[in-house]
Amino acid sequence: MRNPIITFCLLLVPLSLAGKSVPLGKLNLPAGFSISVFAEVDNARQMTRSENGVIYVGSRRAGNVYAVIDEDGDYRADKVLTIDNKLNLPSGLAMKGKDLYVGAVNRILRYRDIDLHVASPPEPEVVIDSLPDKRHHGWKFIDFGPDGYLYIPVGAPCNLCLSDDKRFASILRTNLSFENPALEIFAQGIRNSVGFDWHPVTHELWFTDNGRDHMGDNIPPCELNHAPKAGLHFGYPFFHGNSIRDPEFGSNKNSNDYEQPALTLDPHVAPLGMMFYSGQQFPERFRNQILIPEHGSWNRSKAAGHTGYRITLAHQAENGSLSYETFIDGWLDNNKSWGRPVHILQLPDGSILVSDDSADVIYRVTYDG
């Protein structure tokens, strides 16, 4: 285990992180791949990278936003700075130009020209404060699309319900270049999406969705969905997976009225921050394919075993068909998890970072062939 990273608070008073033992040897990777710890970050969730190479990281239970700095370029963090704290589930982060945006349940915050102020962070501007304030599925995964809009999912405020507020169970978007940006529903019928990305070639939106709980060990599946245009409905709470009718809300509904998943994932795996891999370092079969961190199941019996706690590869063939396979696993040991992958961020050299909000680290995955 490397020396513990030094973490700084807002006033740059050093706080010592107790170096923890992360059992990397338990992880299973394909031949030619290796994994190391890039940084120790408490409750690391979504990541984003500035033009200057600073990695900004959100959290959920910790309530913090961090700046992770690799000063000497050796792919090991030299500093972890706390940009803000005591926020309301600041899980989602995105960069736009030099500005950092943070999704904190009902608010979107902006930290202007953040790289110049990591040592003395500015007070954030409140860009939006009108989002629903429910904490159940309220944490955000945010990003700017190829169209310049900021995309903001709003999960259902429950395991299973139908709210009169149409913003729940949807993906919203807004154009922040307007003086008074309006929120519009881009897609709906989405129980809880905590990960999306745009295809590098088609620029169409793909997203993961977490299936409902308490329906059984092996149903319903979680989902990978494709939204090539606005206005689509993906079935929740009426149907789950491939037209599995919900016993409470699905009566008198026609499954043909709703979009089918592009790919059904394993049940209860909790797919989160998916990413299209577009780098040159990994083998060709990874190019423009989807990597999905599966945060892991809680809603399966011990007899059925647990699913998730891994990273999977969703591979699309030339004919458009999708297959699904394990890329990295081992965070589950004897049916007990020691880590839970959340989000993937590609670095300029083609390696990837993987956040883990349970082991409190960010990994770096490389390929040397």
Q: Looking at residue 40, what is its pLDDT?
A: 98
Look up the CATH number of the domain holding residue 257.
2.120.10.30
Of the candidates 367, 355, 173, 169, which has an alpha carbon nearest to the alpha carbon of residue 272?
A: 355
Q: Which helix (H) or strand (E) holds 341?
A: strand 341-346
In a domain, 107, yes or no: yes
Single pTM value for the model: 0.93
Count of CB atoms situated within 10 Å of the CB of 32 = 11
d(Cα 230, Cα 102) in Å, to the nearest integer?
Answer: 24
| Cα distance between the two ends of the chain | 25
Specify the range with the lowest mean pLDDT, choosing from 83-92, 216-225, 289-298, 301-310: 301-310
User: Above 80 in pLDDT, residue 24?
Assistant: yes
Q: Is the peptide bond before 220 cis (omega within 30 degrees of 0)?
A: yes
Report the 3 state secondary structure along 262-279. Answer: CEEEEECCCECECEEECC
Q: What is the mean pLDDT of the chain?
A: 93
Percent of the chain whose predicted confidence (pLDDT) is above 70: 94
Q: Looking at residue 5, what is its pLDDT?
A: 29
User: Above 90 in pLDDT, residue 248?
Assistant: yes
In a domain, 197, yes or no: yes
Q: Looking at residue 369, what is its pLDDT?
A: 82
Amino acid, res. 347: L
User: Average pLDDT of 11-27?
Assistant: 60
- Predicted confidence (pLDDT) per residue in 68-91, tens digit: 999 999 999 999 999 999 999 999
Give the range of the structural domain holding residue 142, as residue numbers without chain letter. 6-16+23-367
Q: Is the peptide bond before 30 cis (omega within 30 degrees of 0)?
A: no
In a domain, 247, yes or no: yes
| Both structure tokens of 258 | 């709703």
Count of CB atoms situated within 10 Å of the CB of 241 = 20
- Predicted confidence (pLDDT) per residue in 115-159, tens digit: 999 999 989 999 999 999 999 999 999 999 999 999 999 999 999
User: Above 60 in pLDDT, residue 6?
Assistant: no
In a domain, 358, yes or no: yes
- Predicted confidence (pLDDT) per residue in 142-151, tens digit: 999 999 999 9
Amino acid, res. 107: R
In a domain, 295, yes or no: yes
User: Above 70 in pLDDT, residue 298?
Assistant: yes
Q: Looking at residue 19, what is its pLDDT?
A: 53
In a domain, 1, yes or no: no
Q: Looking at residue 20, what is its pLDDT?
A: 63
In a domain, 350, yes or no: yes
Backbone angles phi, psi at 292, to 5 degrees: -125, 115
Of the candidates 290, 296, 324, which has an alpha carbon nearest to the alpha carbon of residue 310?
A: 296
**Total domains, the chain:** 1
Residue 340: band (very low, low, confident or very high) from pLDDT cuts 50, 70, 90: very high
